[in-house]
Amino acid sequence: MKIVNAEFLKSAFVEGDWPKDSRPEVAFLGRSNVGKSSLINSLLSVRGLARTSSTPGRTQSLNFFLVNDEFKFVDFPGYGYARVPGKIKSSWGEMATKYLAKRRQLVLSIHIVDSRHEPTKQDLQLHDWLEESDKPRLVVATKSDKLSNNELRKNLKHIARVLNDDSILAYSAKSGGGRIELWRAIKSAIEQGD
């Protein structure tokens, strides 16, 4: 995919803020600090477009990015960070389920997990929601650069078993490993969703 233009569109805290245009959307969801924003920046080759942070729980709104004037990326807040206030924590599920169930522009949900870690309870919950929403979804195991090839292979197998999903893609925002395969999946979802 040739990125001609990528720009921040808006942050949405409530449904009324969601962009009104009909261009397709790809959503990036996952645990706090798992590397959602880094993955978006790496896919778009723009450093700092989506705000990354070593402080978990930084993104609290849905952040929309417009790519090539053709489609949008949606950076979700992370879930599962203990120090996020209770009120925000409970609104996460509400906002996510609403978006996943209602958003007609959604053509692909990318569920990002950490290739080093066991999927959490909330990962399993999100996985169920995505299954229920009955729309294309893809699990991406990121930070693969932190593992040896052997460990990565072993962990991908394990994550696939736990999430009951056999098509897991390994990714590294650091090395760009997996970028071509992930773009292929995104492109195909956008074309089919049109």
The residues binding Mg ion (CB under 5 A) are 36-37, 59
Indicate which of Mg ion, ligand GTP, none lies near residue 32 (CB less than 5 to 8 Å, by partner kind).
ligand GTP
Backbone φ, ψ for residue 6 (5° rounding): -140, 125
Smallest distance from the beta carbon of 192 to ligand GTP, in angstroms?
27
From candidates 33, 63, 133, 155, binder to ligand GTP by CB under 6 A:
33
- 133 contact choice in ligand GTP, Mg ion, none (CB below 5 to 8 Å, kind-dependent): none
Tell the smallest beta-carbon distance from residue 177 to ligand GTP (Å): 8
Distance CA 87, CA 75 (A): 20
Instruction: For residue 106, give the amino acid letter.
Output: L
Assess 143 for contact with ligand GTP (CB under 6 A): yes
Does 178 bind ligand GTP (CB under 6 A)? Our answer is: no
Asked if 113 touches ligand GTP (CB under 6 A), the answer is: no
Cβ nearer to ligand GTP, comparing 24 with 30: 30
CB 168 within 8 A of CB 178: no
Nearer to ligand GTP, 43 or 66 (CB): 43
